[in-house]
A and B are shown apart, each in its own frame.
Chain A
Amino acid sequence: MNDPLRENDLMMTRRQLFGRGVLGLGTSALAGLFGGNDAIAATTSPIATTSSGHMDGLHHRAKAKHVIYLFMSGGPSHHDMWDYKPELSKKFGEQLPDHVRDGQRVTGMTSNQKSGLPICPSKYKFTKHENNDRGVWVSELLPHTAKVVKELCVVHSTFTEAINHDPAITYIQTGSQVPGRPSLGAWLSYGLGSLNKNLPHYVVMHAKTSFPEQSLFNRLWGTGFLPSDHQGLLMRSQGDPILYLSNPDGVTGSDRRAQLDALAAINQQQYERFADPEIVARIRQHEMAYRMQTSVPELMDFSNESDATFELYGDQTQQPGSFAACCLNARRLVERGVRNIQIFHRGWDAHSSLPKEHESQCRDIDQACAALILDLKQRGMLDDTLVVWGGEFGRTVYCQGRLTNANYGRDHHPRCFTVWMAGGGVKPGITYGQTDKYGYNIVDSDGNVLNPQPTKDEWTPGTMHIHDLNATILHLMGIDHKRLTYRYQGRDFRLTDVHGHVIRDLIA
């Protein structure tokens, strides 16, 4: 494939960078630029370096080089998409037995509900699809995803402790319910560095939704106390895809070239006066920015994609910012060596009109999720690209608001929810973990409710705490979650706090 980015990369050799004439840098600066000087490395950019990150090589052989994390913000309903409970249709409107809830705290939204906690079976038809295991039930909301279940590892037993959005989403993304810790992506960036000089190593996209419920926060892709260059770069669907990428009106690329040449001369003079290697690092960043002004528009330009590709990803692909467009973009980013991509899709918080909202939400994502898997697979990229799909918690089996056959709502549910993974070294076509007949509690392989309830402290086979999920993602990327640490305020922090267990049953 003719990739202008890679060519550009190759062209930008050391000699050329310094052969421009304006930069007659001293030898110590050179050493700083290309040697392993930590002081320099620590201040270089998310865009610029192909660095090996802060780990001394990988902790073990990585199964995956890239992650695409499809984050469904708001808490998608496992009941209506993945976790089939046929017996519930007979219990429509019955009160949830107390022994099922067993002291589980209920959010303030339904704890005092007059109707109590009436059982709400899913209105959607489920079909069993063959995978490489015992098969998997998928609802009619996901017709396309259902066709790729042979690639998916579907985990029904994900759980968390948080019951509200802000703490829960902060928890799953940063390992702590309280703001201030680095995000998963920032840890990956910190640990692994990047594979591409001209693009950021951690890209975040916000996909459009008809129900922009729930907030997102910078902290979800932020760096906490890690150096701030590890933060996720938000690629936007409105205006410049990267903030301030375009030249202002009345300024062309060659104008900018002339400006940068003058700038380099001034900075070079500054370097000659002060010999501070940071000045050299900054000169390099200006050049990287200049190259990004070409590489990013090329990335965002889908015109060389085939009709077959558009057909695969669906009608919405041509709409900038749609989930489908984000997925296609994600594939293009992986092709260009970007390690870590997260797509946030909001609108899953269905408290009162779940059918209307989830139907629309699934239309946004279903075909594109399947397309992403197929596309990566046919390009031979699925093997080293891990795709993760899931939200911050599940939804309750009982109804919030008025329960009718046509309409219902569901509250937040932390005790179990479904997450799937594909590619990147996970076992394809399996399911993992199961829940009771109410889709309320995780059960063991004999179908008995786990007693005591699983906790983050000690892993129970068949379960996946969100720390376990993060530990497993890091593991697949070649990182031991216990060894990727950063000292802040005297403590060696890590993504999984003092918890987390790599679930080897999921790994191929």
Chain B
Amino acid sequence: MNCRAATQRLVQFFSVLSFVFLTTMPCLAERDSEQVSFADDVLPLLSDKCFVCHGPDTQDDDMLRLDSFDAATEDRGGYKAVEPGDAGASELIERILSEDNPMPPEDAEKQLTESEKKLLVAWIEQGGKYEQHWAFVAPAKVSPPDSTQVAESDIDRFVAAKLAQDGVSFAEEADRATLARRASLVLTGLPPDLDALEQFLDDKSDNAYEKFVDRLLADLRFGEHQARYWLDAVRYGDTHGLHLDNRRGIYPYRDWVVSAINSNLPLNDFISWQLAGDLLPDPRLSQLVATGFVRMNPTTSEGGAIAKEFQAKNNFDRVENLGTVLLGMTLTCARCHTHKYDPIPQSEYYQLMAFFNSTAERSMDGGKYAYEPTIAAPKDQPAWEAWDLLEAKRAEIVQSADEELLRSDDLSNMTPELVAEWKSSTTEKRFELLVGEPVDLAVPKKTTKKKSKKGAKKKSKKTAKKAEPASKAKIGSKAEDTAKAKKDRPNPFAKLAVHADARMLLKKIREARAEFTTTLIAKDIAKPRPTFVLDRGEYDQEKGDPLTPGVITVLGDLEEDAPRNRLGLAAWLTSKKHPLVRRVLVNRIWQRVFGQGIVRTPEDFGLQGERPTHPDLLDWLAVELGDSGWDLKHMLRLMVTSRTFRQSSTWRADVDDPENRLWARGPGYRLDAEVIRDIGLWASRLLDSHRGGEGVKPYQPAGMWKAMAHPRSNTKEYKRDSGERLYRRSLYVYWKRTSPHPMMTLFDAPDRESGCVRRSRTSTALQSLGLFNETQRIEMGRKLAERVLDEQSGDDERIGLMFQLLASRDPAESELAACQSLLRTMRQRYRDDVESAEKLLSIGEAKNAVQVSTDEHAAWTQVAITVLASDIALLLF
């Protein structure tokens, strides 16, 4: 290494560049004096352009590594890649400036720009310090900056501080009605009901908006809307996904998610139950059903598939989904080799996989609806609520019995074995001891099998809903006998005072359970399967010794006393020391509210991801999430009541920020597929309020499933529902993973074969065709027409009502004129052609119930379809 040569080159470099910098890049020229941030500027650069060879995955031991200070400043035989404080003596600088032997090499795909070279020089001159990547350091609570602007909340102070740097202020506030619509759509996925809107607008108190927001947070439609984002992330589907893509019974999980969000289950519990509810002591049913999360990976039963291969593939999928959803990172690279950019060794990938490698299900799904292990569970949300009450009552009774037993002197009829059994049993089992018989009366196996087969055949002609092989505990005569025999034996617990209550509860529990369906859950096998590093991710290339379950250590270690199972993993993830989980979650909450995250790449917080637009705000929110008891509603309340949120969403002439990275205007974006459909159903009074249950099948063009499905698939025929199931909220639309409903995919819904934490937002011509021609859109138009005809008189008032419903405002003159003109044209048209009017009005199942003539109804239907397809019904603004 020739130091003088490097210094010379450096001098040349600067003399050539100084002109350019000083004239055209003033901001870069300033960098000389400005402090370079390693984490903000240098590390992303090294990661992107150098780590592919000189990073964590370096194969050759002699190869220079630039991912740590020690490695970069190591003496490499008389020279160092980085000589802190002396760019001229640093080989790294020599090489990046070298013309003969440059780095990156001339044929490398990614080259350094001149300003990047300059940045590296400045960094070394300033000491060549290394810092950890920001996202791998646990967030600390930062005090919100002082602000001279009207910043009302802590969030606003962070935003205002950055706005002030750019010399701009918050946009004016959106008008109250617009704000009400916005908050309502963000929180519940629907516009405000007209009376709720009126109540809010009439409320002149200072905290009227806060009260309005609280009502939205308490609305049961809140959970339905918020659950959707989670279901996208965890890739919830009603089918197995691969090959036959058969039906899968797991919707009780979906309904649990909705219920959990509505009851504001703390997000740390929300995560822990899903990962490891089955490993909790004495788990409740909801905690078991929550583990459906672990079972959400697509599965196959393709003839000829090799079990071991799919054991590996299923686990890859789980590990990688966990990475996307909770760590906000891709772990996929580390499946085959140590991660090129992020410090994730391949062995840690497989240690993480070891947590999942001992679950009890077979690696092939057998095409089965009840792909075991499964459990009986409530079939919709009201049933969940009823069940939760019964479970609470059961716990109460068992508790009383326990206390009574402790107090009681007369335990003469209790054998020591029985007392021991009582003491060691779960609540569920204790209850059975108390009532003296099992809750579910076992049905002899043979009978069940025959019955269900026969039953399934018979039922297949009925609606899909009924065809469900629910695990109803049917009481066969033989079973009854057994039960009776048991009953005849004296029950030593019968003496207890709570026994009578328990018997009464037993009846209720049985009634409830008779209506249960099944759902997939996680369960571990007794003896863990050994997990190995798989060379290059090949299932049959096991390498080295079996691994103990472990975590990605750059994000912190497992607690020493933590169990080495999924419960331990959950504890690691939800620890306040974890640098990523709270940030990742809070960023996605922000994204739901504002349309974009503070980190614009919610799926990647790693070295290659985007940096937060407001790092301190992100950290403040992350810490607040933990400090608030992982309170989702609290976080949403903070966000939607902020001044930042309440800004008008009009694009500003004085701010050049198309992507709204400054948050100098309120959110504005096209709504998601589900919301667009729900708004139409809601406005037309078609929306069915039933919460949950098996996926519903609204109108769909004929043959879409059949054209693609395997002939032996049990989802090759799409049998559409009828009646109220056509109008249930879109969250409940049946999700066939290889072919989701076209009105969903048309508006960018993912297929749910892999996790999605950020949907695209496209506008296409195909969407226009769907909005105007799809059966349900026509039906919505027809029923919205009916509603305005019913509730208002006078053309202007009727048009006005449509706008009130969809935009929470009256139409502007030009809008009114356009609608009136369309109405006139259509009236004339259908007066002249009543037959066409009749045809139009016969589309969709819902009955017509208007008092006006056919041509008048048809004309209004056309207006309603048009308004429903317009941006007032498609956008958040």
Interface residue A265 (Cβ < 8 Å from any Cβ of B): yes
Contact partner, B818, options A45, A218, A256, A262, Cβ 8 Å: A262
Beta-carbon contacts under 8 Å, A233-289 to B: 233, 236, 238-240, 242-252, 255-256, 258-259, 261-263, 265-270, 273-279, 281-282, 285-286, 288-289
CA distance A48 to B872 in the complex (A): 23
Minimal beta-carbon separation of B178 from chain A (angstroms): 9
Contacting B751 at CB < 8 Å: which of A222, A274, A288? A222
Is the Cβ of B306 less than 8 Å from the Cβ of A108?
yes
CA–CA, A264 and B751, complex, Å: 32
Given contacts A227-B760, A285-B763, contact A265 B302 (CB under 8 A): no
Q: Is B68 an interface residue (CB 8 A)?
A: no
Q: Which A residues are in CB contact (< 8 Å) with B829?
A: 255
Q: Is the CB of A263 within 8 A of B869?
A: yes
- Is A95 positioned at the interface, with any CB of B under 8 Å from its CB? no
Q: Mark B54-91, 1 if CB is under 8 A from A, else 0.
A: 00000000000000000000000000000000000000
List, in ascending order, chain A residues with CB within 8 A of B767's CB: 285
Contact of B762 among A229, A263, A489 (CB under 8 A): A229
Binds A, one of B155-163, B470-478, B820-828: B820-828
Q: Please state if B766 and A286 are interface contacts (CB–CB under 8 Å).
A: no
Contacts of A490 in B (CB 8 A): 329-330, 341-342, 601, 604, 606-609
> Which residue on A lies nearest to B833, using beta carbons?
A250
The proximity string for B residues 695-711 relative to A, scoring 1 for CB distances below 8 Å and 0 otherwise, is: 00000011110011111
Task: Establish whether residues A268 and B814, one from each chain, have CB atoms under 8 Å apart when the complex forms.
Answer: yes
Are B651 and A275 touching (Cβ within 8 A)?
yes
Give the chain B neighbours of A107 by CB distance below 8 A: 303-306
Smallest CB-CB separation from A179: which chain B residue? B753
Residue contact A178 to B763, C-beta cutoff 8 Å: no
Whether A39 contacts B658 by the Cβ 8 Å rule is: yes
Is B738 on the interface with A (CB-CB < 8 A)? yes
Cβ of B304 and Cβ of A274 under 8 Å apart?
no
- Tell me, yes or no, whether A89 is within 8 Å of chain B by CB: no
- Of the residues B604, B669, B862, contact of A489 by C-beta under 8 Å: B604
Could you tell me the distance between the alpha carbons of A266 and B864 in the complex, rounded to whole angstroms?
Answer: 13
User: For the side of the interface on A, what is the size category?
Assistant: 35 or more
Q: Mark A105-121, 1 if CB is under 8 A from B, else 0.
A: 10111100000000000
Inter-chain contacts of A238 with B (CB < 8 A): 702-703, 707
- In the complex, the chain B residue whose C-beta lies closest to that of A351 is B303
- Indicate if the CB atoms of A282 and B871 lie closer than 8 Å: yes
The answer to whether B298 has its CB under 8 Å from any CB of chain A is yes
Q: Is B593 interfacial (CB-CB < 8 Å)?
A: no
Docked-complex contact A243 and B770, CB < 8 angstroms: yes
In the complex the two chains form, what is the Cα distance from A411 to B316 in whole Å? 27
Q: Does A46 contact B (CB under 8 A)?
A: yes
Please report the C-alpha to C-alpha distance between residue A142 and residue B389 in the assembled complex, in whole angstroms.
Answer: 69
User: Which positions 199-255 of chain A face chain B at CB distance < 8 Å?
Assistant: 206, 212-219, 222-223, 227-229, 233, 236, 238-240, 242-252, 255
Q: Does A477 contact B (CB under 8 A)?
A: no
Tell me, in angstroms, the Cα distance from A112 to B649 when the chains sit together: 66
Query: Which one of A37, A108, A179, A261 lies within 8 Å of B305 (CB-CB)?
Result: A108
Known: A266-B871, A288-B765. A39 touches B659 (CB 8 A): yes
0/1 interface trace, chain A 284-324, chain B, CB 8 Å (1 if under): 01101110110000000000000000000000000000000
- The complex places the Cα of A240 from the Cα of B766 at a distance, in Å, of 12
The answer to whether B738 touches A218 (Cβ under 8 A) is yes
Q: Select A263's contact among B342, B778, B870, beta carbons within 8 Å.
A: B870
CB distance from A135 to the nearest CB of B (A): 36
* Chain A contacts for B317, CB-based, 8 A: 178
Answer whether residue B746 sits at the interface, using C-beta atoms and an 8 A cutoff: yes
A290 to B866, CA, bound (A): 14
Contact yes or no, B306 A105, CB < 8 A:
yes
A269 touches B765 (CB 8 A): no
Contact B306 A244 (CB under 8 A): no
Select which of B243, B669, B753, B773 is within 8 A of A180 by beta carbon: B753
How many Å lie between the Cα of A177 and that of B307 in the bound state? 16
B772 touches A45 (CB 8 A): no
Question: Given the known A-B contacts A227-B762, A228-B748, A240-B701, are A217 and B305 also in contact in the complex, defined by CB atoms under 8 Å?
Answer: no
Which residues of the other chain, B, contact A47 by a CB distance below 8 angstroms? 764-766
Contact A289 B753 (CB under 8 A): no
Within 8 A of A (CB), among B728-749: 738-740, 742, 745-746, 748
Choose one: A206, A244, A275; the contact of B770 (CB below 8 Å): A244
Q: Which of B643-667 contact A (CB under 8 A)?
A: 649-651, 658-659
Q: Which 9 A-B pairs have the closest CB atoms?
A: A490-B608, A107-B304, A250-B840, A265-B818, A489-B330, A250-B839, A289-B768, A180-B754, A45-B764
Chain B residues within 8 Å of A, Cβ to Cβ? 109, 241-245, 298, 300, 302-307, 313, 316-317, 324, 329-330, 332-333, 340-342, 540, 601, 603-604, 606-609, 649-651, 658-659, 668-670, 701-704, 707-711, 713, 738-740, 742, 745-746, 748, 751, 753-754, 760-770, 772-775, 778, 812, 814-815, 817-819, 821-822, 825-826, 829, 835-843, 858, 862-863, 865-867, 869-872, 874-875, 877
Q: 8 pairs across A/B with beta carbons < 8 Å? A: A45-B764, A165-B302, A180-B753, A250-B858, A267-B871, A277-B651, A489-B601, A490-B604
New contact pairs (15) apart from A179-B298, A215-B708, A270-B871, CB-CB < 8 Å? A45-B762, A45-B764, A48-B765, A164-B304, A178-B313, A180-B753, A215-B713, A229-B762, A240-B701, A252-B836, A277-B658, A285-B767, A285-B768, A289-B768, A482-B109
